[in-house]
Amino acid sequence: MGTNGDVKIGVYVCHCGTNIAAKVNIKEVVEFAQTLPHVTIAREYKFMCSDPGQELIRQDIRELGINRVIVASCSPLMHEATFRRVLEEGGSNPFFFHMANIREHDSWVTSSSRQATRKAQALIAAAAKRVFFHEALQKNSVPVNSNVMIVGGGISGIQAALTIANAGKKVYLVEREPSIGGHMAKFDKTFPTLDCASCILTPKMTQVASHPNIELLTYSEVESVEGYVGNFKIQIRKKARFVDENLCTGCGECTEVCPIDIPSEFDEGLGMRKAIYRPFPQSVPNTYTISRRGLPPCQATCSLHQKAQAYIQLIAKGEFEKALQIILRDNPLPSICGRVCSHPCMSVCSRNKVDQAVNIPGLKRFVTDRLSDYELPKPERERKEKIAVVGSGPSGLMCAYELRQRGYKVTIFEAASQPGGMLTQGIPAFRLPRGIITDEIERLERTGIDIKLNTHVGIDISLKDLKKKHDAVYIAIGAGVERKLNIPGENLRGIWGGIDFLRRINLGMHITPGKRVLVIGGGNSAIDAARTALRSGAEEVTIVYRRSRNEMPADQLEVEEAEKEGIRFYFMASPLRFLGNGRVTGMEFIRTRLGHPDESGRRRPVPIPNSEFTLPCDGVIVTIGQKPDVESLRDRLGLALTKFNTFVTDPLTLETNIPGVFAGGDCVTGPDVVVNAMFAGKKAAISIDRYLNRQDMREGRELEGPFEPTFEIDTEGVPVKWRIEMPSIEIERRRTFEEVHTGYTPEMAMEEAARCLACAGCCDCQLCSTVCEAKAIDYNQKDTTLEVDVGSIIIATGFKTFDPKRIPSYGYQILPNVFTSLEIERLINSAGPTGGEIILKNGEKPKSVGIIHCVGSRDIHHNRYCSRVCCMYSLKFAHLIRERTHAEVYNFYIDMRAFGKGYEEFYDRILEEGAHLVRGRVAEVTDVALDSSEEGKLIIRVEDTLIGMVRRIPVDMVILSVGLEARPDAEEVRRLFNISCSVEGFFLERHPKLAPVSTFTDGVFLAGACQGPKDIPDSVAQAGAAAAEALALIDKGVVELEPNTAWIEEEECSGCQTCVALCPFTAISYDAEKHVSVVNEVLCKGCGTCVSACPSGAAKQHLFLDEEILAEIEGVLTI
């Protein structure tokens, strides 16, 4: 190693007082060191890090020409920087230095003195071998960005932000919640001075908001952190608050109309807030936020996206008129839908997880029944374009309404003598009274829609003519042609098609299907036909279905009603032939079993051989489905058809192959439910409107229609409450066409509506936007990501309180009147849910209160540490409760920790005031009384360790002084910022004494309780310290980087590029011209992964050369 010249090593063994010297035989170690090769001098000293110790080294460099230095003392993480500086001062390159860690790794962890001495010798031998290879290195320095990011807007974050901003530096203050303030904002008074928390906090919060150097990012979270000290790149996600921060004036009008009540997080669930809210009146920023999980499941699944949660919440509050207005926004046929909708909304209702879905259609029906004289809005302007709608079923009606609302002149052509299509012809009156249909259609007509009855397009007017006379045509002729069984005997008398049968009866004919009637099929039509048959003179009606009950497509509620009415079901039987001579007298069936699922996902019925049987009857109604009657249009203008005889349309626009002609509903989809037919009508209307305005019909329409719910809620703890059944007429009366269900009373409706869990938070009723004069509400707001460059980061993410449910014997949430300390803070606070009244759950003032200290702290089952604040806040409660309620107060403590300034005096004061202090850990809180004095009380059972006996103390109220814990997501935050957590989960400081606000990641500092439990004065002091660290970094302007980067020797590199793929920082690139890999020194962070992977040994790392490490290995093994 000629380049290293004549190596002269100086070894300096530190006593560290007695820390090392008491265990390691220093003299022996020094003697050993002297024998090592190249060692010129070996010395010992009491404290090498002290000035005289340092001077020893400088002097030897100067006088003895020492050019390698080994200090055997503490960890290099502690003093490496110190001694490198000493070398520099002595005139040597600072990197000709190595530290042997004989304190943390030796004297402190070894029991035997002999062994510790030997270990120290080995470590020094290793160091001596290593330093031989050390090279002179230069530190690189990079400029420091003067911006600082502070994460967490509690008192620590606020204090640090203000300190740095006042020094003229830019601060980004990121807070997850809608307001800054943290825990301190919840407190009423602060110990020991008893000054009001908000009085001292809110001015600071306001300062933050108005400070020109602070950019406040509330309701925001840090997404990613890249870079290194001085040069961090941060991605911050600003969550959508659906209220424009720049426009909102904080007037609060919106909360007056919001129907949603949510337990207030700020009031610890003791009070309620609205879905649009600010956490507390002094919130900073003074901006409202909407709690919105997404579209409520009921609304998402509805093809029309009716705002079910919204109108249900309004019904629950008795606001029926508002509910109706919400309903009418999306549905012009609500009274019909309230009765016959297939309610997909109910199948996704969050309430299903608890008990049963809310009766959503029933509630809609209630509103339309109660306020039945409503009107639909009239169009705001008139347009000259004319539109023809063929068919007056739900699809045609919806399309006509949507177009009429946009001002078009709409004419509906209906072949039948009555409007309504399948609503009128297919659905029996006992489910949907004729008067309801008439009312709804007349309402539509009053908006200016013209309905031409008895006008069969294709016979009375040709489709060609229609197209010529109108600007657009919507075809919604439904699916009215009966499917046939195609089995022998189908032409016998007494056999009816289901639709034919229902249509005749619904249009007013009096026919009797027979006395013993069989109904073939399992859909809603089968149930309707069976129930209609029962009301038309049949005595015995049996539904025969070829699969089992589970596969029946009919609405289960309707099936139950049919059963109640006496209709019989015969499952797993498939028809073979009709029997009879002229008139049907019976039917032959074959039994089936369920095979593999078919395309519809239902299991296919498979006939069981030789299982034929017959059922006698004198009438049969066949309801096995319908198909569209496209033939009836005669001249079809060349409209394309599918193989199922339905119209071909563009699924996005419903336009047919002929421009200007649209089709939808059953004639496109085949038989389907009312709400989907209406959806098609609405969709077609949007297309027609765009068509007539020459706009792109397709743009942005992919998301129309139903979609899966986007969230799920946790329903744990929601009490079971079964659905309120809608009253119906007695079974005996169900032989006429009187409506079966009579509808909810207002009380029942409100009770049923109150079952709604308001699972989405905001229900999308949009009432708030109607009262917001600043027009600040924006329901379409999206999360945004913002990137900022900062030089340093202060983490001040705070703590969470211990959850006392983990100690069941204290009865929290089991016994009423057991509160946590944070709940009491809110109860005492005059801005809290009770206006500052300390009251029991029954509203009375407590006469005696027990305060249990150390809940979850100093407890081997939970947290072993002391939470440091509980003793003092418990004493504060003792004072405040006595002052406000004159109750007797008992404090149960283990030890009184009154260590801060003025704390002991505060303790004395509380004692003098007459609070009872009982020393002992409480065993349990119970409501089991042993005598009359304990009746109706909470009894605290405790061993009083000062008098040495177990006591039972009855009180009215128990306060659990819960400890402080790390936040549940500390682990994720730790990874985000590349810092460490201590065993308790709090963030780990670089050194518990000497670097309490630094972390192991340079440029990342800690403030407040995220580092460990702390009271307000300590948090503020630490915030100041963290700010000072950040400012020191900025003031210096540059950071020196450890020169431990990797490099590649060109001559040795084979160009294999193994290293290129390994580098996590993409610092290595391949120079194709020279056929070698090259390390970008600026990007290299010095991990050395490439070095150990290089097959040719061309990659090397400064400070960790192969020679150096191998020498060290050899060295530790020498003794």
Partner 1 sequence: MYEPKIVAIFCNWCTYTAADLAGTARMEYAPNARIIRVMCSGRIDPQFVLNAFQKGADGVLLGGCHPGDCHYQEGNYKALRRYHLLQRLLEQMGIEKERLRIEWISASEGDKVKKVIDEMTEEIRRLGPLEIAETPAEQKPAVAAS
**Quick one: 123 or 518, whose CB is closer to partner 1?**
123
| 3-state secondary structure string across 552-591 | CCCCHHHHHHHHHCCCEEECCEEEEEEEEECEEEEEEEEE
Q: How many CB atoms lie within 10 A of CB 378?
A: 10
Closest distance to partner 1 from the beta carbon of 858 (Å): 19
Residue length, the chain? 1119
**633: which 2 tokens?**
């249009």
**421: which 2 tokens?**
């299509």
SS3 366: helix
Closest distance to partner 1 from the beta carbon of 1032 (Å): 23
**Quick one: 567 or 1091, whose CB is closer to partner 1?**
1091
Nearest to 122 by CA among 72, 78, 84, 79: 72
Say if strands 472-475 and 661-663 run parallel, antiparallel, or are unpaired. parallel
**Quick one: 104 or 629, whose CB is closer to partner 1?**
104
Which residues are 924's β-sheet partners? 941
The CB-based long-range contact list for 54-60 (8 Å cut-off, 24+ gap) reads 54/82, 54/83, 54/86, 54/89, 56/12, 57/10, 57/12, 57/83, 57/86, 57/87, 57/90, 58/86, 58/89, 58/90, 59/90, 60/10
Closest distance to partner 1 from the beta carbon of 352 (Å): 37
**Quick one: 703 or 860, whose CB is closer to partner 1?**
860
**Quick one: 917 or 1091, whose CB is closer to partner 1?**
1091
- Contacting positions for partner 1 (CB under 8 A): 75-78, 101, 103-106, 108-112, 115-116, 118-119, 122-123, 126, 975, 978, 980-983, 988, 992, 1000-1001, 1044, 1062, 1064-1065, 1085-1089, 1091-1093, 1101, 1104, 1106, 1109-1110, 1112-1114, 1116-1117
Nearest to 824 by CA among 866, 761, 867, 887: 887
Closest distance to partner 1 from the beta carbon of 369 (Å): 60
Closest distance to partner 1 from the beta carbon of 87 (Å): 19
Phi, psi angle pair for 1115, to nearest 5°: -60, -45
Closest distance to partner 1 from the beta carbon of 980 (Å): 4
Structural Rg of the chain based on CA atoms: 41
**932: which 2 tokens?**
């009359």
Report the alpha-carbon distance of residue 164 to residue 972 in Å, rounded.
26
Which residues are 72's β-sheet partners? 13, 100
**Quick one: 78 or 633, whose CB is closer to partner 1?**
78
**Quick one: 329 or 1085, whose CB is closer to partner 1?**
1085
**Quick one: 814 or 1113, whose CB is closer to partner 1?**
1113
Closest distance to partner 1 from the beta carbon of 1009 (Å): 17
Closest distance to partner 1 from the beta carbon of 99 (Å): 9
The answer to whether 169 touches 146, Cβ cutoff 8 Å, is: yes
Per DSSP (E only), the strands in 329-471 are 386-390, 409-413, 450-452
Report the alpha-carbon distance of residue 913 to residue 883 in Å, rounded.
10
Report the alpha-carbon distance of residue 158 to residue 201 in Å, rounded.
9
**Quick one: 181 or 1086, whose CB is closer to partner 1?**
1086
Closest distance to partner 1 from the beta carbon of 1102 (Å): 11
**Quick one: 125 or 617, whose CB is closer to partner 1?**
125
**Quick one: 110 or 506, whose CB is closer to partner 1?**
110
Report the alpha-carbon distance of residue 285 to residue 279 in Å, rounded.
10
**Quick one: 273 or 990, whose CB is closer to partner 1?**
990
Closest distance to partner 1 from the beta carbon of 1099 (Å): 10
Which residues are 71's β-sheet partners? 12, 99
**Quick one: 582 or 1064, whose CB is closer to partner 1?**
1064
Closest distance to partner 1 from the beta carbon of 787 (Å): 20
Closest distance to partner 1 from the beta carbon of 309 (Å): 40
Closest distance to partner 1 from the beta carbon of 107 (Å): 8
Q: Give the distance between the most distant pair of CA atoms in the chain.
A: 132
Closest distance to partner 1 from the beta carbon of 20 (Å): 11
Report the alpha-carbon distance of residue 330 to residue 318 in Å, rounded.
21
Closest distance to partner 1 from the beta carbon of 1090 (Å): 9
Report the alpha-carbon distance of residue 25 to residue 18 in Å, rounded.
11
Phi, psi angle pair for 357, to nearest 5°: -60, 155
**Quick one: 508 or 1064, whose CB is closer to partner 1?**
1064
Residue written as token pair 């294999």 = 1056
Q: How many CB atoms lie within 10 A of CB 857?
A: 24
**Quick one: 417 or 978, whose CB is closer to partner 1?**
978
The answer to whether 833 touches 264, Cβ cutoff 8 Å, is: yes
